[in-house]
Structure formats: C-alpha cells, structure tokens
Structure 1
Amino acid sequence: MPIIQTTKIFTTVDNAVQSGYKIVSAQGSSRSSKTYNILIYLLSYILANKKSLSIVRKTLPALKGSVFRDFKEIMQDKFKIWDNRCMNKSEMVYTFPNGSFVEFFSTDDEQKIRGRKRNILYCNEANEISFLEWQQLIMRTTDFSIVDYNPSFSDEHWLCELNKDSRTYHFISTYKDNPFLEQTIIDEIESLEHKNRVLWTVYGLGLQAMAEGLVFPEFEIVDEFPVNAKQVAAGLDFGYSSDPTAIVKCGILDGGLYLDEQCYRTHMLTSEIIKELKKLGLFVYADSADPRLIQEIANAGIIIFPADKYKGSVMGGLFKMMEYKLCVTKRSVNYIRELKNYVYEQNKDGKFINQPIDAYNHLIDGTRYYTIGKLLGKVLTSKQYSKEDLGIY
C-alpha cells in the first residue's frame, strides 16, 4: 500500500476506536480535514478487515457532491485501487476484493435507514440529520460509528447529549490541524474573526454557537418545488476551487419565493455546468463577472443572461428576496445551511452593520442574480439575446 499523508485526526480516530469507544464524535471548524482523514481511516480499516460500512448524509445530492467525491479521489489518487467494475452506481455500493463493501445513502431513503445491519456507520454532517434518523441508524450498527459536523446549533441538539455519553469519544479540530491547507483558504477562514464573532467561533475555532444577525432569520422548509410556480428560472453563481458552483431553481407562488438546490460542487468544468443546466431546461441568470463562461454556456444553446451588478446590487437583490416568504425544499441542505449562517458583518464594537458577510452565500448569490435579472429586469443586454428572449418584459 502506498504511503499516505494524514493529519492528527487520523490518529485521534484510530486511538478512539482501538480504545473501545462505540462512537467517535468529530466536531470541527471549516476545513479541519476531518472528513478526508476519517475516510482514509475507514478505508484502511475495511481493507484490513472484512467489514460493511455505511456512509450517510441528509440528502443524496449533497452526499454525491461531497463525501462520495472525496471517497473516489482517495481511492484513485491515494490508495490507487479504484476499479469501476467494483462500483454499483445504481445502488451506490463499492465492493472490495476482500469482501468488504461501502454503501452510500441518504436519510431521505426510509428503506435504507430501516434496512440491513452494518458493521460501521459514518454520518457526514451529522448536525443535518434528526435524532430519530440517528436512532434508526445506530441501532443497526454492530461495531462502531463516527459522526462529523460543524457545531452550528443550540444546546438542545441531540449531538450535545451524544457527546456526554460515556461510550462516545468527542474531540474538536480546527483548520490549524490541517497542514496541507492553502493560504488563501486560511485567510478566508481567519477573516471571519473580524466579520462575525459567532461564525468565527463555529467555523474558525470549531466551538458550538448559534449564528446571530441573520440576513434571513425566517424561512420555511417545504417538501417539493411547486409545479404551478410562476416566473421559474435558474440562478447561477460560478465557483471553482474553494468556492462551489451553485445552481438554484427559483419560482414565485402566492407570495412565496420557492428555492430548490440543483447543484453545489467545486472544480466543475464548463462542460459539467452546461450538462447540469441542460437538465433543467430553464432560462439562467448568472454572475456577470466572467463573460467567457457566460459565452461558452450560451454557445451550447442555453439561454443565459448576466445579472447587472450595479452599485448597490447586493442589497438591492437581497431586499427583493425579502419581499417574499422564502420556501426552501427539504433536499436543499446546502441552501438551508447558508441561510442559517448568512449574517450581517459586525464592526469593532460588535454591532451589526447593514452589509452581509461575503461567505455562506453561493446559492443565495445565485438567487440574488435571479431576483436582479428576472424579477427586477436588470440584466446586461447583448446582441445574442434580447430581454424578450429571456422572458423579461
């Protein structure tokens, strides 16, 4: 097996399991390397022991876009043992030559939650799932379980009680425990210290806190995007390495702005963005910062228009969103996380100012481009598409 570099989280998890703890609770800040190193540990474990492993998150799109991508990268680039023939894509199960297997599923899948037993359970972003879902999973796990999460929740969350259990090994990690982190990401995390003290506590120090000064303190979680919604279109915020490309389906119905997360992934190529947009078949309102990307997407036959980023457009777009009741589909876990963490900046005296932080806002920015372009009609015109082409009158 090749030599693989790990952080202290790998050793911490290994020591906890070897000491006989039934549950390992990995609390941490943003980019502490907890998910990546937990995966390396679990793969090492099931390669040495014939075991069944379930890796679970709240929704399947979120799971595929995060922990599964890390799993595949580790298998390909670190262990160098990925074999397409071992991966059952329809069932999301990877089977190893020694008989071990890893299954990926979401807690939205009631049948999987109440299904067969497994030896090992790993709940990624466990703060997103309910206590009842956790209970169903843990009672069908025979060896040990691992949970990881950012601690942005109140004292009433079930994880607080779990961490007090004598069978649980609870530890906290921060971005400083990740020696492989790029300086640009370190700078982004550390900038929170001067923007919002609560977010710095959670995502910088890895300590429990609830966000204050929320831009959108109230929103409703709904089952589905309504089929009879009006002015339906997509909002698109470009990203690549540290920031994800975010696509959200937006529509209006009975005073509600309905939002359905479609895509939230890093390292997306233009061709991959086009593929996602073609699935939707909607007009697209996007960030105007990269005309080349806009043109490449338009050349693929997608009707896309850059939102006008006029002076004051950030608050203008947000104020337009505030005119509606925000209704977010339950599968939009990244959008829900953003709404719970998108706050106003604080000055040196700790007072909130009328300027939101530039973080936890990728899907929100996508929605803002929709409100600016579709609802306010402020778009950058071009020879290729007129406002009439885009349904703006």
Structure 2
Amino acid sequence: MSETKLSSVIGPAFHFLARDVFQHGHTHYDLSGGRGSLKSSCVSLLVPLILIANPGTHAVVLRKVANTIRDSVYAQYLWAIGELGMAAYWDAKVQPMELIYRPTGQKIMFRGADDPMKIKSIKVPFGYIAVTHFEEKDQFAGRAEIRTILQSTMRGGSKFWNFESYNPPISRDNWANKDSLEERKDRLCHKSTYLEAPSEWLGEQFITEAEHLKATDERAYRHEYLGEAVGTGGNVFENLELREITDREIASFDRIYQGVDWGWFPDPFAFIRLHYDRARETIYFIDEIYQNKLTNDASGKLILQKGYRDAYITCDNAEPKSSADYRAMGLPAKEAVKGPGSVDYGMKWLQRRKIVIDRRRTPHAYDEFVNYEYERNKDGEIISGYPDKDNHLIDATRYALERICRIMGATA
C-alpha cells in the first residue's frame, strides 16, 4: 500500500509514528489517549501491513479477558482490513478467533490473558510471532504480566513490534501511567486526543457530547476525552475500568447482586445492580436507581418494573421496616449484617477488586467511585478514614456484596 493511501485512513497525528514503525525505529510502541483519539484504529491498520511487508511473520492481539475480544479488538481489526481495501484477501475465523492472510497463510490471532497457558501454547504454522498488540494495557496486572507474555511470544525471529494501547486511568499513580513515564531507548511513547482527529471521522454527535462534558464537568472531560490522569493520588478506588459494558457481556452475567442504601433528602435513595466474577475478582455495574424523595413503595415499584426480583437485595439495616416493606411487595430483600469493622473491611475488599463502570448505564456510580478520595488534614496530607459523603452507591455496593465479603473473612 502506498504511503498516500495509508495517510488517507490513518489519523494525521499518527503519520510520524507509522513511518517509524515501517522503518523499525523502535521495538515497543506505547499509545495512550482519550476517547476518539484513534490510537486503537492506528494499531489495527498498521499490524496487517507489517505482516504483509514481512512474510513469515504473525501477530497476536491480546486483551486481559477473552470474552471481551469479539466485540472489541476483533471487530476493530475487521474494520481496519476493510478500510485498507483488503477484505477479499483475509479469512475471518472465530473458532479459534483469528484472521488469515490468504496469499501466505500469515495469521493475526486474538487471545485473552486470563488463561496464560493458552498464550504459552500458541503455535504458528511457519515463521514466528513478530507482532504483539496489548489492547487496554491498563487492564493487565502490571509490567510483570506483560513481560511474561512477551517472553513467550518474542522468540525465534530477528525483528519484533510490540504495541500497547490504552486510555490512561484516572490516577497518576496507576501502574500503567507510571510505566509510560519510564524512558527506554527501544520504546516510542505517543499520546493523542480526539482534537487531532478529523472531525468528520468522529461525527457531529461525538463532538457535541465531548463539548457538553467539558462545559459541565471539566475534570471528567480532561480524563475521558483528553486522556489526562487527573487523579490526585488520593483516590480510594484505583482499580477502575471505565468503558462500555455491552449487552452481550450482560447476557453472560450469572452472579447478580443488588444493594440498597436508604435515603430521602438531601441524601438520595440508592439502588445498585451488579455482577461479580469471582474467578477474575471483577465487579461489573449493570444498573442503578438514584433519586431523592422516593417512598419505599415508589422505589420498590421501580425495581419491580425493571424485573429485578431475580436476586437478593441487601439493604442498609438502619431501616428494617423499609426492608419489610420490600418483602411485602414480593422483593427478596434482607438487612445487611454490618457489625464492628465491617465498613473498613468492606472498603478494603472493594479496593482489591477491579470495578468496571459504564457511565451511560450507571452515571451516579461512576461519579461516586471516580471522585471518592481519602480524607486530608489541614495541610493537604492524606489521612486514614473514608469520608461519609457522596458515597451512597458505594455503600449500596458494599451491602450487595456483603455476604461474599463475610464468606471470605469479613467481620460479621
């Protein structure tokens, strides 16, 4: 493909990087940026071209969790091959998930890092794996996990390309943010934003949404759209994954938990519905109700209208009559046990889990978990203790998962 043709489908902000890639100026490429920055699009366009220019090589594209691949990176690479005008030359398979270049048999393979043995056992029919792409780098456990994978893939060849793309986590202390600041001669770090992308590629509505967030919540805008780590280092929840949760994912959720923190005014009534993946220690928020001046009858009817009587609702035990009202309505409600030390343990338990939040599904949970910070003294130094404010859905989440915490050793 000519450089002119490539420049018509790749974002202008990536032209220099693309030249460096094809000249093999570096081995490692770190691409960070906010929404609409085109970083993942760039990598998906480059990888097929690298393989075509280097017969005998293959690529592996990785995400932390395998069941997120088909609707994300796999779909992204299908798009890229179409944009390159090469769809007729590639076969797309889903079992296993891979793209095969018909003229040579070279492969782009897609794998989840949640099963390390499958990565170690990857075999190619000829040649070697020259290209790796870690999509959503921050979802991986750390540099050690990525290094272990590369030790399995970077073998038997003379030239390698490793791409790591991600939206910077909100806290500047997150390992992915700190990792990108470390200088190494064989790595090129590239940061981009939607402001560098052609507006017609993003669409008018995308720009409208970005500008609205900028006007209403500049901090969130800087994080989500500009890719800035705006966290102060005092964030209670560092392990947040802020992304879309697809309907396909939700359809596979089989461990549903629900919690309620009673409120009226000014404190709101707060209900959360979530899935907890025990194997991966990951919480996914599915839905919420967050409203002032809701009677028990009104909030109960909202829950019933959503069809959420399929899982226990663990409620704040400060109002046992309210839980009884729910049971009278046919909702499987019960009071939280709580007890001495339960708040501290519950918070620490949540901090050790990954929490996936889709702002469109649970906007108030997003606001609470993203902005919740440790208390500080008059000198601005972080002190122990969790502020008892702006944490209603955080409390509801603790209640929802209380029995899991207790099973794993929480104080009753």
Structure 2 unaligned regions, length at least 5? 123-127, 262-271, 278-285, 290-303, 309-315, 317-322, 324-335, 373-388, 401-412
1:6 aligned onto 2:10:
yes
Code of the residue aligned with 2:210 in structure 1: it is I
Code of the residue aligned with 2:72 in structure 1: it is S
What is the CA-CA distance between 1:74 and the residue it aligns to?
Answer: 2.7
Q: How does 1:1-393 map to 2 (within 5 A)?
A: 3=5, 5-17=9-21, 18=23, 20-50=25-55, 51-76=57-82, 78-82=84-88, 86-97=91-102, 98-116=104-122, 118-129=129-140, 130-139=142-151, 140-141=153-154, 143-152=160-169, 153-155=171-173, 157-158=175-176, 160-162=178-180, 163-179=182-198, 180-210=201-231, 217=236, 245=247, 247=250, 250-251=256-257, 259-260=275-276, 305-306=305-306, 334-335=356-357, 343=370
Distance 2:307 2:234 in 1: 27
Q: TM-score, normalised by structure 1?
A: 0.57
Give CA deviations for 1:53-99 in whole Å, capped at 9, x if unaligned. Answer: 01001111222221111112233454242578x33422212221223
The answer to whether the 8 Å contact 1:25/1:168 transfers is yes
What is the CA-CA distance between 1:167 and the residue it aligns to?
Answer: 1.3
Identity value in percent: 15
| Structure 1 residues 12 and 250, CA gap change in structure 2 (3 angstroms) | farther
Distance 2:41 2:17 in 1: 12
Distance 2:15 2:9 in 1: 12
Q: TM-score, normalised by structure 2?
A: 0.55
Specify the alignment match of 1:231 in structure 2.
none
SS in structure 1 opposite 2:228?
A: coil
The answer to whether the 8 Å contact 1:10/1:41 transfers is no
The answer to whether the 8 Å contact 2:9/2:83 transfers is no
What is the CA-CA distance between 1:157 and the residue it aligns to?
Answer: 1.0
SS in structure 1 opposite 2:99?
A: strand
What is the CA-CA distance between 1:158 and the residue it aligns to?
Answer: 4.7
What is the CA-CA distance between 1:26 and the residue it aligns to?
Answer: 0.6
The answer to whether the 8 Å contact 1:16/1:24 transfers is no
Structure 1 unaligned regions, length at least 5? 222-241, 262-283, 288-303, 309-315, 346-353, 357-363, 372-393
| Structure 1 residues 175 and 109, CA gap change in structure 2 (3 angstroms) | same
Aligned residues: 287
The answer to whether the 8 Å contact 1:13/1:38 transfers is no
Specify the alignment match of 2:295 in structure 1.
none
The answer to whether the 8 Å contact 1:29/1:175 transfers is yes
What is the CA-CA distance between 1:101 and the residue it aligns to?
Answer: 0.7
Code of the residue aligned with 2:112 in structure 1: it is S
Code of the residue aligned with 2:166 in structure 1: it is Y
What is the CA-CA distance between 1:121 and the residue it aligns to?
Answer: 0.6
Distance 2:116 2:11 in 1: 35
Q: Find the structure with the greater CA-based Rg.
A: 2
SS in structure 2 opposite 1:137?
A: helix
Specify the alignment match of 2:267 in structure 1.
none
| Structure 1 residues 184 and 336, CA gap change in structure 2 (3 angstroms) | closer
CA RMSD of aligned residues (A): 5.0
SS in structure 2 opposite 1:32?
A: coil
| Structure 1 residues 307 and 218, CA gap change in structure 2 (3 angstroms) | farther
Specify the alignment match of 1:299 in structure 2.
none
What is the CA-CA distance between 1:172 and the residue it aligns to?
Answer: 0.9
Distance 1:19 1:120 in 2: 12
